[in-house]
A and B are shown apart, each in its own frame.
Chain A
């Protein structure tokens, strides 16, 4: 047990972001943390609690007025926690695979006299703790929203607390079992090649299709009615996939000790199966990776035939792009993550059914009505802002260097050029994805050429501004010490703060534009010019900040 606790602590520490030793930087991070908490965490927490609470009230009324099965009162909560479990699997799989098989500590730990199940269980626990903090918050909000509007008592509160802490176990156990089986019995993932990403993408696509396929195309009111009558197919299927969710909600909504015991039993059994499997096949899976080194042999004369001098800036840019696309963790988090946007929008579109707000705004826009024009304009800006920061390319551009950060310093290439090339990588990818989406949306909306050009300019400037913002944040305290590449992004506060700031800026500017247009009655054309000017000035200022303070920060970083 002592060994287990020590290992968990060690693994948790190795994933942590080192704190800056400079007081002003610590203060800066604390300020950002407070801003993020006030503007992001608390609103998200309240929104989740509100959503579950409102849905539960609606379901309660439906049940009472139509004398439906009383236990269905928990279906709103059930749906939410099932979605949380799905996301836990999507994000957890890559982390589990990396932590179990590809982290740098494996080769040092394996020769030690530690049983595979102790090693795996401690790694599992470290992932559970470090990865589930956000999940705990969302679960806590969901349970709180439910308890407030129902007749809660001490028993349901205790069950809820235990539920919040233990719900992430089953999705992560699934990820662990899949990882163990893939690594032991298949050749899908060798040497961390991109098959790893393909597996992840496969899971995302399958779950996306399942979710989209089973979300019914009806209005919110109808949807609540269906929740009350227990007719959501998606929930039925997920009850089989994550039976723990069903029994936990049953335990709370019916105050059933029996259901709670079954919930604990399911988690316990799943964990025991996982551990037994790990004991049998984990080590063999690890050995298969180390035996996978294959060299592609080619004679030197053939290799050198294509070798020629190129501009060093172009070569540096290619190096950045190659590392981003060939490193699975970077590829999935920084590039594939951009593909999630269409899935999210389609999901929102489908969930809304006949009272579809998106369709409504699209129609408004097509008819050139003021509200439609305003909302589309704001949406283009908000999506481009959040996409640029959510892919974390800019905010991890220094962190991704890791142990070879000194390379940036000893080569005869100034920091200004290096940082600008890193910025260009982020702008190319962020604006590239934004532009493709813009083309599709503009075609769908039948946007005028001028609108298309304005949207393109906003998207480009937004990509530039938020790229330099991300790079600036990453120069302050880059996360350079990590065991595996995924760790460069996981728990990287710069990435989180960059996204939080983009959300706040997007919210403030969107709110401001809406207010100025609807209340002060300033024409939209002027507001578009104002936004473009603001983004332009912001981009120039941010560029100057990176070129001055950012370079100074880089000079001071020493590992």
Chain B
């Protein structure tokens, strides 16, 4: 559902944030995107959603080329950005209706989705308040609801669990599993290795803009003859040669 082929992104003509990466996320898969700060995770996700323009390579999402058919590709994406402070002067319900209208969600469907998702995240009673009065966690939950309201095939989530309380984090993880079970795809970035271990079918590890590993965690543990994922990760990002 997501195909990335030889993609490169250079900032300021010198800084290669993403360096010739290729990977795929198949239907029914949850893929974790892991890497240290500044490794190129967010840049890659922003390239997938059309926020950044790639310098070379090809990206297709749900069968649509992000450059040639950007609107079709974007309609199939549910994206959670790294900052939840968006349109804080809008009321919760106004924000959700804005997103639902942009993605052309029918009245019946949106009512159903808003009811279901706000219940799952405990935000049912405060939709009439401006989002500026929400806590950071509540705003993050709102972003999750907004990203999922149109039931997109492909979920692209940048650190989606940050700021969520344990109950909501658990709820989102279950939703991710459900979504994959239905034959859709989930790609999310995280720093929490335990989450990746419990949730992901595969992981992609990125360092200095280059992918240094992609595959299952089981294979990874086998490769390094270790069971502790943290040890493996630290070893990889510290010593693995990216050239």
Contact = CB atoms under 8 A, between A and B. Distances in A.
Contacts of B135: 293
Contacts of B72: 412
A367 interface: no
Given A404-B87, A412-B70, 20 more contacts: A295-B125, A295-B126, A297-B129, A300-B118, A300-B119, A307-B93, A307-B110, A308-B107, A309-B107, A309-B110, A319-B90, A322-B89, A322-B90, A404-B83, A404-B85, A404-B86, A406-B51, A410-B81, A412-B74, A412-B103
Interface in B73-97: 74-75, 77, 79, 81, 83, 85-87, 89-90, 93-94, 97
Contact of B104 (A309, A326, A407): A309
Contact of A311 (B52, B101, B126): B101
B7 interface: no
Contacts of B234: none
B157 interface: no
A114 interface: no
Contact of A299 (B93, B101, B114, B125): B125
Contacts of A298: 125, 127-128
Contacts of A407: 86-87
Interface in B35-83: 46, 49-53, 70-72, 74-75, 77, 79, 81, 83
B138 to A, nearest CB: 9
A410 B49 contact: yes
Contact of B128 (A191, A303, A315, A412): A303
A-B pairs with the 6 shortest C-beta distances?
A412-B74, A315-B101, A326-B89, A300-B124, A298-B128, A410-B49
A558 B17 CA distance: 13
A307 B111 contact: yes
Interface string B107-126: 10011001100110000111
Interface of B: 11-12, 46, 49-53, 70-72, 74-75, 77, 79, 81, 83, 85-87, 89-90, 93-94, 97-98, 100-107, 110-111, 114-115, 118-119, 124-130, 132-135
Contact of B74 (A191, A303, A312, A411): A411
A558 B53 contact: yes
A410 B89 contact: no
A555 B12 contact: no
A440 interface: no
Contact of A21 (B12, B110, B129): B12
B102 A312 contact: yes
Contact of B85 (A304, A403, A412): A403
A323 B103 contact: no
B74 A323 contact: no
Nearest to B112: A304
A69 to B, nearest CB: 56
A326 B88 CA distance: 10
B133 A293 contact: yes
Interface string A166-190: 0000000000000000000000000
Contact of B114 (A295, A307, A316, A404): A307
B97 A295 contact: no
B107 A410 contact: no
A312 B102 CA distance: 5
A507 interface: no
Contact of B100 (A309, A404, A412): A309
B133 A315 contact: no
Contacts of B46: 406, 558
B171 to A, nearest CB: 17
B142 to A, nearest CB: 13
Given A307-B107, A323-B90, A404-B87, A409 B51 contact: yes
A327 B89 contact: yes
A445 B101 CA distance: 46
Contacts of A191: 132-133
B102 A295 contact: no
A556 B102 CA distance: 23
Contacts of A307: 93, 97, 107, 110-111, 114
A312 B150 CA distance: 14
Interface in A322-353: 322-323, 326-327
Contact of A412 (B75, B87, B118): B75
Contacts of A364: none
A407 B86 CA distance: 9
Interface string A441-460: 00000000000000000000
A327 B115 CA distance: 28
A319 B98 contact: yes
Contacts of B87: 319, 323, 404, 407
A192 interface: yes
A413 interface: yes
A294 interface: yes
A413 B129 CA distance: 27
Nearest to B95: A319
Contacts of A24: none
Given A304-B111, A403-B83, A555-B53, A312 B101 contact: yes
Nearest to A313: B101
Nearest to A305: B111
A66 interface: no
B104 A312 contact: yes
Contacts of A65: none
Contact of B97 (A21, A192, A300, A310): A310
A296 interface: yes
Given A307-B107, A315-B102, A299 B124 contact: yes
Nearest to B123: A300
A236 interface: no
Of B74, B110, B111, B119, chain A has the most CB atoms within 10 Å of the CB of B111
5 contacts: A294-B129, A294-B133, A303-B128, A326-B130, A411-B102
Contacts of B49: 406, 409-410
A309 B114 CA distance: 13
A414 B111 CA distance: 26
